[in-house]
Amino acid sequence: MIESWRWFGPEDPISLQDVRQTGAVGIVTALHDQPNGVVWPREAIRTRREMIEQAGLTWQVVESIPVHEDIKSAASGWERLAQNWAETVKLLAQEGVRTICYNFMPVLDWTRTDLECLLPDGATALRFEFPAYAAFDLFVLKREGAIADYTLEDVEAAERWLADKSDEDVKRLTDTIIAGLPGSEESYTLDQFKERLEAYKGIDREQLFQNLQNFLEIVIPAADEAGAVLAIHPDDPPRPIFGLPRIVSNLEDLHRIKAMHPSVSNGFTVCSGSLGVHADNDLPKIVGELGERVHFMHLRATRREEDPRSFYEDNHLEGDVDMIAVLRVVRCLERELGKEIPMRPDHGHRRLHDLQETSTPGYPAIGRLRGLAELRGAIKAIDHFENP
271 is catalytic: yes
User: pTM value?
Assistant: 0.95
Helix (H, G, I), strand (E, B) or coil at 35: coil
Closest CA to 296 of 333, 243, 260: 333
Q: Is the dihedral of CA 197, 270, 231, 14 positive or negative?
A: positive
Active-site residue, selected from the candidate residues 271, 314, 349, 354:
271
Q: What is the mean pLDDT of the chain?
A: 95
Distance from C-alpha of 383 to C-alpha of 388, rounded to nearest angstrom: 7
Segment 273-313, tens digit of pLDDT: 999 999 999 999 999 999 999 999 999 999 999 999 999 99
Distance from C-alpha of 232 to C-alpha of 219, rounded to nearest angstrom: 12
Active-site residue, selected from the candidate residues 233, 295, 316, 349:
233
User: Quick one: pLDDT at residue 84?
Assistant: 98
> How far is residue 66 from each of residues 43, 249, 275, 293, measured CA to CA in Å?
19, 19, 21, 21
User: Quick one: pLDDT at residue 387?
Assistant: 75
Segment 42-57, tens digit of pLDDT: 999 999 999 999 999 9
332 is catalytic: no
Active-site residue, selected from the candidate residues 298, 312, 314, 316:
298
Amino acid at 357: E
Question: What is the band of 255 on the pLDDT scale with cuts at 50, 70, 90?
Answer: very high
User: Quick one: pLDDT at residue 185?
Assistant: 55
Ordered by where they begin, the domains of the chain are 2-108+201-386 (3.20.20.150), 114-194 (no CATH)
Distance from C-alpha of 184 to C-alpha of 102, rounded to nearest angstrom: 11
Active-site residue, selected from the candidate residues 68, 347, 349, 354:
347
Question: What is the band of 189 on the pLDDT scale with cuts at 50, 70, 90?
Answer: confident
DSSP letters, 243-302, are: TB---SSSHHHHHHHHTT--STTEEEEEEHHHHHTSTT--HHHHHHHHGGGEEEEEE-EE
Active-site residue, selected from the candidate residues 188, 200, 312, 363:
363
Amino acid at 117: C
346 is catalytic: yes
User: Quick one: pLDDT at residue 81?
Assistant: 98
Our CA dihedral for 377, 292, 250, 269, rounded to 10 degrees, sits at 60
User: Quick one: pLDDT at residue 110?
Assistant: 86
Phi–psi pair at 365, nearest 5 degrees: -75, -55
353 is catalytic: no
Active-site residue, selected from the candidate residues 137, 154, 346, 354:
346
Segment 363-381, tens digit of pLDDT: 999 999 999 999 999 999 9
CB 327 within 8 A of CB 303: no
